């Protein structure tokens, strides 16, 4: 355990229960923090919060309690089971893949738990939660009772600012699950999320509901889950575009597993920017376009460049939407606010010379709750844009 004493006047955010303690707010440290646990103390010596400690990160501690409760096995079980109770009311028998614990959103900063059928994936996002791995694993087993528990350690690497280790050459390690009755595989060996983008469930359901007889262009498709939803909703055709051949291989598997057609022409391994320029030049039109890129802004300094990327991609995509068609455009960069994203999309539509109306906004589903204390947890923004003429 390490004792972190705050600088005078730097206790406000902790008193408001914000779970992130930045290193700049700390005046002194006592103890070694070898167990990954931290106690946060006001300048006058009173304890304000307890949490997990990540000396390599700018967010020096992620805070779990503000009422004197200790951080450890008992608290992990309590928090995980509270999160689980929420899911019991949210998920149904035909949806067996969902996020069971959502870090700050479930008052468990630094820990994610995703369930894929009989497999659970515990992702430890920080050095501190990594050090508490044994107790967190035990809580996950106790609350979820999965047949198999996989632990992913992304935290210490991320805290040091380095990239995740490259994916192994071995065959992908797949966990099977259902989403609204459709069969999917989470690729546990891949570097993306815990193997699947559970946060887009609600948008996939909307797409399925409007897809009948439509043509769908699925940009940044990863394993093609949007296309599976569209085709199962009666879409005439869906094309997946992604630069990753491995992701597209899994996209084919997804179609086969759901009894859907998977012709070669529906899988386009290419850079989306290049692909869109070619399609615009060819004068293509699509009834529905889904644009769900990776986070273009990973740190604050990236925001301007990210904004240009979002604008370019949306301008090109908008030109391809047929009259009366749809563009679902998304951003999962937490640093790009909903407001900024809407402005970027607006300027894309001006440049494209194509008017659109926001028919609805849909972010991540209720298994990705956002704590009022930590609005930074709301990262996914989806705008359903109806083309106007």
Residues near ligand SAH (CB under 6 A) are 197, 200, 220-223, 225-226, 242-244, 247, 271-273, 292-294
Q: Which residues, other chains included, contact 273 with Cβ-Cβ below 8 Å and sequence gap of 6+?
A: 312, 313, 316
Number of H helices, E strands in the chain: 11, 19
For 204, phi and psi rounded to 5 degrees? -65, -40
CB of 144 to ligand SAH, least distance (A): 23
Q: In the complex, what is the shortest distance from the CB of residue 275 to ligand SAH, in angstroms, rounded to a whole number?
A: 7
**130 vs 268, which CB is nearer to ligand SAH?**
268
Q: Crossing angle for the helix pair 225-232 and 201-210, nearest 10 degrees?
A: 30
Write the DSSP assignment of 86-107 as a string of letters.
HHHHH--TT--EEEEEEGGGGT
Residue 43 tokens, joined: 């300048």
Cα separation, 289 vs 256, whole angstroms: 22
CB of 194 to ligand SAH, least distance (A): 12
59 or 178, CB closer to ligand SAH?
Answer: 178
SS3 164: coil
Q: How far apart are CA 305 and CA 325, in angstroms?
A: 29
String of DSSP letters for 45-65: S-EEEEEEE-TTSSEEEEEEE
Minimum CB separation of residue 265 from ligand SAH in Å reads 17
Minimum CB–partner distance for residue 345 and ligand SAH (Å): 17
Residue whose CB is less far from ligand SAH, 60 or 235: 235
Burial class (CB in 10 A: 0-12, 13-18, 19+), 333: buried
CB of 248 to ligand SAH, least distance (A): 9
β partners of residue 238: 216
Q: Where are the alpha helices (DSSP H) in the chain?
A: 12-15, 73-90, 127-131, 133-144, 155-159, 201-210, 225-232, 245-257, 272-281, 303-319, 338-352
Residue (146 or 195) nearer to ligand SAH, CB: 195
- Quick check: is 330 catalytic? no
Q: How far is the CB of 221 from ligand SAH (least distance, A)?
A: 6
Could you say which of 108, 291, 330, 332 is catalytic?
Answer: 332
Comparing CB distances to ligand SAH, the nearer of 220 and 356 is 220
Strands 47-53 and 59-65: antiparallel
Give the span between the Cα atoms of 229 and 123, in whole angstroms: 27
Tell me the backbone φ, ψ of residue 263, rounded to 5 degrees: -65, 150
Specify the DSSP element, H or E, that contains 153.
strand 148-153
Give the residue numbers marked as catalytic. Answer: 332
């Amino acid at each position: 355990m390490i004792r972190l004493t705050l600088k005078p006047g730097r206790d406000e955010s902790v008193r408001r229960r914000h779970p992130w303690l930045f290193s700049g707010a700390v005046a002194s440290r006592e103890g070694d923090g070898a167990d990954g646990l931290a106690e946060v103390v006001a300048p006058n010596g009173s304890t304000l919060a307890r949490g997990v400690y990540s000396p390599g990160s700018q967010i020096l501690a992620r805070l779990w309690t503000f009422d004197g409760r200790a951080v450890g096995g008992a608290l992990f079980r309590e928090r995980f089971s509270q999160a689980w109770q929420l899911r019991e009311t949210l998920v149904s028998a035909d949806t067996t893949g969902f996020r069971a614990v959502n870090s700050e959103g479930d008052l468990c900063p630094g820990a994610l738990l995703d369930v894929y059928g009989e497999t659970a994936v515990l992702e430890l996002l920080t050095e501190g939660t990594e050090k508490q791995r044994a107790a967190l694993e035990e809580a996950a087993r106790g609350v979820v009772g999965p047949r198999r528990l996989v632990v992913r350690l992304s935290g210490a690497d991320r805290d040091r600012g380095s990239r995740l280790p490259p994916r192994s050459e071995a065959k992908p390690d797949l966990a099977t699950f259902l989403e609204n009755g459709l069969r999917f595989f989470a690729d546990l060996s891949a570097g993306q999320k815990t193997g699947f983008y559970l946060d887009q469930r609600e948008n996939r359901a909307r797409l399925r509901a409007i897809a009948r007889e439509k043509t769908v262009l699925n940009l940044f498709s990863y394993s093609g889950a949007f296309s599976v939803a569209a085709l199962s909703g009666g879409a005439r055709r869906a094309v997946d575009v992604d630069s990753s051949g491995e992701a597209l291989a899994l996209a084919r598997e997804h179609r086969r597993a759901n009894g859907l057609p998977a012709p070669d022409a529906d899988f386009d391994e290419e850079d989306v920017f290049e692909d869109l320029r070619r399609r615009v030049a060819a004068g293509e039109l699509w009834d529905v376009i889904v644009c769900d890129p990776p986070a273009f802004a990973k740190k604050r300094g990236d925001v301007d460049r990210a904004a240009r990327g979002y604008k370019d991609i949306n301008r090109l995509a908008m030109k391809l939407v047929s009259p009366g068609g749809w563009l679902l455009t998304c951003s999962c960069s937490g640093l790009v606010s909903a407001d900024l994203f809407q402005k970027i999309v607006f300027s894309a539509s001006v440049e494209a010379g194509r008017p659109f109306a926001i028919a609805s906004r849909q972010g991540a589903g209720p298994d990705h709750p956002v704590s009022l204390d930590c609005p930074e947890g709301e990262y996914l923004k989806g705008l359903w844009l109806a083309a106007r003429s």
